[in-house]
Structure 1
Amino acid sequence: MSDSTDKVCRDCGEVKSASEFWRRAGSPDGLAYYCKPCFKVRNLGTRRKRSEREGRQERRFIPRQETPEGMKFCLDCETVKPLDDFPRNRNTGDGRTTYCKPCHNARGLESRVRLHGSTRHYHLTRRYGLGSAEVAAMIDAQMGVCAICLTPGPEHVDHDHKTGRVRAILCFNCNGGLGQFKDRPDLLRRGADYLEGNVWKPTLVAPGVYRLPS
């Protein structure tokens, strides 16, 4: 459609040029039913209703600003920042998210708390398939202590990295220690022997030939 074609806005009733309407492939003339100012008002009303329905605070409308090349305006903190300060998003025109990294993270935290009750519950269900209530029940079954060193207050879920099966709830040190020993019982046994004074050394069986301990 030519930009010189006039059209009547269904909301304000004014006759305006086609350039005052957004493109809309589904309409007969290829233009939106409402002019850009009226469309903006309708869009704000829709966001306000959605915020009220979801119990969120309404975000006031902030007009986009012209920014230098390589920079972008964050709608939350209202600051112009370099593109590298915005997370990547291949679905947007500039390949970056609408909000800078701190604001993006804050929005993600708010969503996780609102939808899942806490970030801990969100991560537990996402990674281990267990909710915070199930983890608390496992800790109670362990009498409130680490399954290895018996230190009170374990918080870290230990799982088999091959099968994904959750084994127990450990303290930070024991959980990290298993990881350092690569979850290998043979290395843990050798470590225990070493601490007890049984140092494993290779045996000379021929000139230049050594036999390692089994």
Structure 2
Amino acid sequence: MSESGKEKWCSGCKRDLPLPSFAADKNRRDGLQPRCRGCVAAYGAAHYRRRREAQGKPVRERVDVPQGHKECRTCGEVKPHSEWHRNSTATDGLATRCKACKAVQGRAGHLKRHYGMTEAQRDAMISSQPGVCTICLAAPAIHVDHCHKTGKVRGVLCFNCNSAIGKLGDAPDSLRRAVAYLEGNAWKPTLVAPGVYQLPS
């Protein structure tokens, strides 16, 4: 401790530094660690690097990140805090992946969970269509369509066509009647009992 009592000698970098530069250590007489925070961090980083290299694992290079920014562990880009979701459990209050990477991984996870397919399989299906909705043959194919009973993927449709067949309950008979109606051949049902209708053959 220096004469002023407001500085302390760091045994690592051999400098007198302000007391806030040292982390607390209740086992020490002065209540502070013998090395400054910078030296402790550097030692920890070196130890981490040696351990990772010994395990044959890749070591991420340390990047100088400006104030108000953070490096994404997935894409490696340094982005402002506005590009991150909040995470109250993290030490810096931010998620480990940027919003863009989280969105990409979220879409991939959604495909796997709901349809049992990868993005590559979906893209191959779109290419085989080729790139357009299989119903209207005009709009881009962006929505995976599947049978709600069997779970089998049928194709990739545009938003309008996908929602249309869904609202008709994926029922082929309803769709056939819709086609007949559009062509001017509406099937008029006959009421045979309360709530019971008979369709023309």
TM-score relative to the length of structure 1: 0.49
Residue equivalent to 1:135: 122
Q: Which runs of 5+ in 2 are unaligned?
A: 50-58, 69-78
Verify: 1:108 aligned to 2:99, yes or no. Answer: yes
Contact 2:133–2:141 (Cα < 8 Å) also in 1: yes
Q: Any gaps of 5 or more consecutive residues in structure 1?
A: 63-74, 79-85, 114-118
Cα deviation, 1:128-186, whole Å, max 9, x if unaligned, reads 23444433322343355433333375233223345543221223322222233343444
Match of 2:145 in 1: 158
Amino acid of the residue matched to residue 159 of structure 1?
Answer: H
| In 2: Cα distance, 1:159 partner to 1:56 partner | 45
Give aligned-pair identity as a percent.
29
Does the 8 A contact of 1:158 with 1:170 survive in 2? yes
Query: What residue is the counterpart of 1:198 in the other structure?
Result: 186
Alignment pair present for 1:211 and 2:196: yes
Query: By how many angstroms is 1:31 displaced?
Result: 5.6
| Distance (whole Å) between structure 2 residues aligned to residue 12 and residue 194 of structure 1 | 85
Q: How many residues align?
A: 164
Match in the other structure for 1:125: 108
Contact 1:128 1:166 in 2 (8 A): no
Are 1:173 and 2:174 an aligned pair? no
**Pairing of 1:184-195 with structure 2 (within 5 A):** 184-195=171-182
Q: What value does the CA root-mean-square deviation take over the aligned residues?
A: 4.9
1:43-58 mapped onto 2 (5 Å cutoff): 58=64
Q: Are the equivalent residues in 1 in contact too, given 2:85–2:99 (CA < 8 A)? A: no
SS of residue matched to 1:128: helix
Aligned amino acid, residue 99 of structure 2: G
Shift of 1:59: 1.6
Please identify runs of 4+ aligned residues in structure 1 that moved more than 6 A: 15-19
CA apart distance, 1:15: 6.9
| Equivalent position to 2:80, from 70, 76, 79 | 76
SS of the aligned residue for 2:23 comes to strand
Amino acid at match of 1:11: G
1:198 aligned counterpart, secondary structure: coil
The amino acid across from 2:66 in the alignment is R
Q: 1:158 to 1:17 in 2, by over 3 A?
A: same
